[in-house]
């Protein structure tokens, strides 16, 4: 899921009840690019200063062409979803199992 995808790109693990957005650069070309966590109420604007011919890909979807001075706006959706979780399945137990935490 999104946690594993972000984690593999150097992003954090965010506890499910934390109302936040995480913006994780994928394969950045600069060492100064780091993940950013902001409150779910934040609206982040990213101003593209590069040249034409680049593509923006979000969550593995088809890339959108970018042009100089394009603006990408990141914000939480007004829509929510309900997830079905097995009873007694604790967040840290899932992390321990999937990420092999505590194993040698």
pLDDT of 37-88, one tens digit each? 999 999 999 999 988 888 888 776 788 899 999 999 999 999 988 888 778 8
Specify the DSSP element, H or E, that contains 64.
strand 64-66
Residues 56, 87, single domain; the answer is no
Q: CA 25, CA 33: separation in Å to the nearest integer? A: 7
Task: Give residue 20's pLDDT.
Answer: 93
Taking alpha carbons only, the member of 30, 25, 29, 28 closest to residue 12 is 25
* Percent residues over pLDDT 70 in the chain: 99
Task: Give residue 45's pLDDT.
Answer: 95
DSSP 8-state symbol, 20: E
Task: Give residue 67's pLDDT.
Answer: 92
Q: CA 45, CA 71: separation in Å to the nearest integer? A: 6
Specify the DSSP element, H or E, that contains 23.
strand 20-23
Residues 35, 83, single domain; the answer is yes
| Domain housing 62 | 44-72
Residues 37, 1, single domain; the answer is yes
Angle at 51 between CA 28 and CA 68, to 5 degrees: 105
- Quote the number of domains for the chain: 2
Task: Give residue 40's pLDDT.
Answer: 94
Residues 37, 6, single domain; the answer is yes
Residues 34, 13, single domain; the answer is yes
Q: What is the pTM of this model?
A: 0.70
């Amino acid at each position: 899921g999104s946690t594993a995808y972000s984690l593999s790109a150097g992003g954090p693990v965010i506890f499910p009840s934390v109302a936040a957005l995480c913006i994780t650069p994928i394969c950045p070309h600069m060492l100064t690019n780091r993940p950013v966590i902001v409150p779910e109420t934040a609206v982040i604007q990213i101003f593209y200063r590069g040249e034409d011919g680049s593509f923006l890909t979000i969550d593995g979807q088809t890339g959108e062409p970018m042009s100089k001075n394009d603006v990408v706006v990141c914000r939480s959706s007004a829509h929510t979803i309900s997830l079905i979780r097995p009873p007694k399945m604790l967040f840290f137990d899932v992390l321990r199992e999937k990420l092999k935490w505590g194993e040698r």
